[in-house]
Amino acid sequence: MPETINPLMSTYGRYPVAFVRGEGCRLWDDHGGEYLDFLAGIGSNSLGHCPAPVVEALTGQARQLMHTSNLYRIPLQEELARRLVKSSFADRVFFSNSGSDANEAAIKLVRKFMKDTGRPGRFEILTAHNSFHGRTLATLAASGQEKVQRGYDPLPTGFRCVPYDDLAAMERTIGPYTAGIMVEPIQGEAGVVIPRDGYLEGLRDLADRHGLLLVLDEVQTGMGRTGRMWCHQWSGVTPDIMTLSKGVASGLPMGVCLASDRVASSFTPGSHGSSFGGNPLVCAAALAALDMLEGPGGVLAEVSAKGAYFLERLEQLRQRHRMVKAVRGRGLMLGLELNAPAEDAAAICLSRRLLVNSVMGTTLRLLPPLVVTREEMEQAVGILDGVLTDLF
């Protein structure tokens, strides 16, 4: 193959920029250009680029041991599991490599639990329109977006989508085959859609009354993104299963499925597995990330105040620009909905050295690192103001 031809499969519409260095909320390209990163690896670099405690943990661990496999005990994995259990509702943890993996584990666990508890006919999981749960065939089938499913028929059966934030529709859809309900506390890929107060509580009530499991996909909302460690803590609801990824290991690949003991007991030796999941290297990074979030004077304590300030500044943008339809957000997970396609605005932001992205056609999604400063937020607002002025 000629060297001028890119050998990568064409699964991404990549922007023509290559980043070679990062620090905090900043990135530098291969020509020395400096950028303000308000996308953070689609939420994965939640503590910024190359945070020193994570880098130190990684380099130290890499000199000792990077991988063994889950055929053997991994003490760092056990320590990380204890930390996650302590900070959540869960009793048990399964580690994998991505959000898709974590959601696959949750789907399998729902089905296995139903069979183990004498209800083998219950296999169906109810999900929501515009949801996004991953790129495997099962998580594609669970997702409520036709655009990501197109071309992969026939998809696995066992999923039914209903309107998001509609308890009546969810209840009408429950039937004799229903095993669980799986939703995102805030829909990220749908444009940062926040349900009304009482929605998660209503889902918990439906699950309890109908003998179902409640699965909360916190791949994007977890690890402090919304100002609480887990987004569902804003509602006081306790799920049966929760899935995580994104910021868990501060930019390294990790997926996590957490569950109560009652449910997790259905996973027995050989029922599920992962070659790389929870290896020593990634667990070292995740433990350092947790220390940064939860330790004395940790990052998590400031997220709500930062998010409130940023939301207020974006609302002021809405008042100045008629093309801004709505501003939505909780913590540092925000969306700027436009009355026009958002892709052009995202591209111009990139040309002005601000990274954001377009979701659902008309919304700019902003996921700055949780370590973002007010000065950096002001810089981002200034760039957005100029883009909206020039474009509309």
Cα 62 versus chain centre, distance = 27
Q: Of these residues, 89, 94, 123, 132, which one is catalytic?
A: 132
Total residues found in the chain within this entry:
392
Could you confirm whether 325 is annotated as catalytic?
Answer: no
Residue whose C-alpha is closest to residue 48's, from 382, 299, 294, 353: 299
| C-alpha distances in Å from residue 132, one per residue of 59, 103, 128, 185, 206 | 34, 10, 9, 12, 22
- CA–CA separation, 390 and 392 (whole Å): 6
Q: Please give the angle made by the CA atoms of 372, 296 and 77, to the nearest 5 degrees.
A: 90
Six token digits for residue 278? 């929870």
Could you confirm whether 246 is annotated as catalytic?
Answer: yes
- CA–CA separation, 266 and 242 (whole Å): 15
What is the residue type of 223? M
Q: Using the Cα atoms of residue 20, residue 21, residue 27 and residue 28 in order, give the sign of their dihedral.
A: negative
Q: Of these residues, 101, 165, 217, 240, which one is catalytic?
A: 217
Six token digits for residue 363? 């919304």
Q: Of these residues, 38, 113, 123, 246, which one is catalytic?
A: 246
> CB within 8 A of 97, min separation 6: which ones?
253, 254, 255, 274, 276, 277
In the chain, the N- to C-terminal Cα span, in Å, equals 44
What is the residue type of 380? A
Helix ranges (DSSP H) in the chain: 40-43, 52-64, 75-86, 99-116, 137-142, 146-149, 167-173, 199-210, 261-264, 280-294, 300-320, 343-351, 374-391
> CB within 8 A of 31, min separation 6: which ones?
none
Q: What are phi and psi of 175, to 5 degrees?
A: -140, -170
Catalytic residues: 132, 217, 246
